């Protein structure tokens, strides 16, 4: 490969990986998101279907959608090294270990510090820029503390109504330096919001922190801070591949800098596509935002198909067949099936499902069980009735669905909501190749999101 790609990345969950795909593609960096680590030849030979993103179909960056956010350190040890090794063989200027903007992690599950320690074996770095805050997604980092906005109110993350009560990785510490110190012995320095206000002093401070080594956490309160961060990172980068850690704020910061220097050009964007002729929604998230989206979908005529967790556990095949039949009957009436297992974090079905598993891993096992079932349901529906437009809510659920459909890569079609674009699937089986699919995190999009995907429009009637 004669040319060096701009960036490669590994996303610690599927929907977060799609978030980076979107931010790069719509900023002018043609990107493919692979579901498994590709070979050098696969990256060279890959061609995008959406010519608005790349006229010749060639990519300038690529990512790998992962699941490390749901893995224990021991599981990371068995999964991540082979992936990192394969990615490291493809020449890029930057490698980004992509994490959620809510910093979902703990020492036991999704351990960011441990994952980065593994990455350092293949992406050598004496210092590691860490950028988490991203105003576009209502995430802000101020004096090292992470904040998130929900329902018109901005909360410190350890008091956030969703993240403080997360079933697997509850956020009980908003200071990211303290939170990360429980996952790694690598020191964490801070370049705070006051330092970023002055370009000259921030450059001097950044160089001092580079020499100190370890993580360099950047505050982000406004978009202009991302612009300053992008310039600091890119103008001070070493000749060797640079390891980066953070949310899609990394891509916004770097792409803004690359556009200013003329390294990339913003592509012509198409924000519309045709309305879906046939449409299916699968909601695996139990977040309040997804519950709101489900309720709105039902209020405009979508037909509910609730997965009965108890029945699924007792006889999986029977409950899957029941859900498949129900969805197909709805589609035959030219209506939209809305497949879900829980309506928000307080749904009694969640507690009922937990009772079937041991205490230590019950939430993780329930999520895996339901995600796998939804993947099987969707595959069976498409196999029997043909292609349709698909929305999947929930990071883990998205992973199981794409795996069930044999999708090996994704590219963006149009934006819908920040961090949750409508994508085109690449699959070796023509039954799924070219499938229009939206993969969103539980908290992405407003209550009209499912309707926006149906209409192929980022702004539906409200």
**345-355: per-residue pLDDT in tens?**
777 777 766 66
CB atoms within 10 A of CB 328: 15
- Tokens representing 114 are 């441990």
Q: What is the pLDDT of residue 314?
A: 84
Angle at 242 between CA 60 and CA 225, to 5 degrees: 85
CATH superfamily membership of 279-455:
Four-carbon acid sugar kinase, nucleotide binding domain (3.40.980.20)
> What whole-number distance in Å separates Cα of residue 460 and Cα of residue 462?
6
**For residue 362, is pLDDT > 70?**
no
Q: What is the CA radius of gyration of the chain?
A: 21
462: confidence class by pLDDT, cuts 50, 70, 90: very low
In CATH terms, are 5-260 and 279-455 the same topology?
A: no
The tokens 């931010």 sit on which residue?
A: 23
Scanning 222-269, the segments in alpha helix (DSSP H) are: 223-235, 249-260
Percentage of the chain beyond pLDDT 70 is 94
Tell me the pTM: 0.88
Percentage of the chain beyond pLDDT 90 is 73
Q: What is the pLDDT of residues 314-334, one digit of tens each?
A: 898 999 999 999 999 999 999
Report the CATH fold assignment for 5-260: Rossmann fold (3.40.50)
11-15, 328-332, 432-436: lowest mean pLDDT where? 11-15
Q: What is the pLDDT of residues 117-132, one digit of tens each?
A: 999 999 999 999 999 9
Helical packing angle, 395-404 and 14-25, nearest 10°: 90
- Tokens representing 219 are 């505050």
CB under 8 A, 24+ apart: contacts of 426-433: 426/32, 426/46, 426/49, 431/382, 431/383, 431/386, 431/387, 432/382, 432/387, 432/405, 432/406, 432/407
Top-confidence residue, 428 or 165 = 428
The tokens 């100190």 sit on which residue?
A: 212
Task: Show me where the domains of the chain are located.
Answer: 5-260, 279-455
């Amino acid at each position: 490969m004669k040319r060096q790609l701009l960036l490669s990345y590994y996303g610690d969950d599927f929907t977060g990986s799609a978030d980076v795909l979107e931010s790069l593609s719509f900023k002018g960096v043609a990107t493919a998101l692979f579901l498994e680590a590709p070979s050098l030849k696969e990256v060279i030979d890959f061609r995008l279907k959406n010519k608005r993103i790349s006229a010749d179909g060639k990519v300038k960056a690529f990512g790998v959608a992962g699941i490390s956010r749901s893995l224990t350190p021991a599981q990371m040890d068995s999964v991540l090294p082979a992936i990192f090794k394969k990615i490291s063989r493809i020449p890029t200027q930057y490698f980004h270990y992509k994490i959620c903007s809510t910093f979902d992690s703990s020492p036991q599950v999704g351990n960011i510090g441990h994952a980065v320690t593994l990455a350092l074996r293949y992406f050598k770095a004496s210092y590691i820029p860490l950028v988490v805050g991203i105003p576009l997604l209502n995430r802000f980092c101020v004096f090292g503390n992470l904040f998130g906005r929900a329902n018109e109110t901005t909360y410190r993350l350890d008091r956030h109504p969703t993240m403080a009560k997360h079933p697997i990785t509850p956020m009980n510490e908003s200071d990211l330096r303290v939170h990360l110190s429980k996952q790694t012995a690598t020191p964490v320095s801070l370049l705070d919001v006051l330092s970023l206000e002055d370009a000259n002093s921030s450059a001097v401070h950044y160089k001092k922190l580079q020499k100190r080594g370890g993580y360099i956490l950047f505050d982000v309160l406004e978009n202009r801070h991302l612009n300053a961060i992008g310039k600091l990172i890119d103008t001070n980068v070493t000749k060797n591949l640079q390891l980066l850690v953070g949310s899609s704020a990394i891509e916004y910061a770097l792409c803004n800098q690359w556009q200013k220097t003329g390294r990339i050009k913003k592509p012509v964007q198409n924000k519309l596509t045709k309305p879906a002729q046939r449409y299916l929604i699968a909601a695996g998230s139990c977040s309040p935002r997804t519950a709101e989206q489900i309720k709105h979908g039902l209020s405009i005529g979508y037909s509910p198909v609730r997965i009965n967790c108890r029945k699924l556990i007792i006889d999986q095949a029977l409950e899957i067949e029941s859900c498949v039949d129900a969805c197909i009957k709805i589609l035959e009436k030219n209506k939209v099936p809305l497949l879900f297992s829980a309506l928000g974090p307080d749904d009694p079905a969640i507690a009922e499902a937990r009772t079937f598993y041991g205490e230590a891993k019950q939430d993780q096992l329930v999520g895996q069980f339901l995600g796998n079932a939804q993947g099987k349901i969707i595959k069976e529906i498409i196999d029997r009735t043909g292609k349709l437009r698909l929305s999947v809510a929930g990071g883990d659920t998205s992973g199981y669905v794409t795996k069930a459909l044999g999708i090996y890569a994704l590219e963006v079609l149009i934006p819908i909501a920040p961090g949750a674009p409508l994508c085109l699937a690449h699959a070796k089986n023509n039954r799924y190749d070219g499938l229009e699919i939206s993969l969103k995190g539980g908290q992405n999009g407003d209550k009209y999101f499912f309707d926006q995907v149906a209409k192929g429009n980022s702004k539906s009637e409200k």
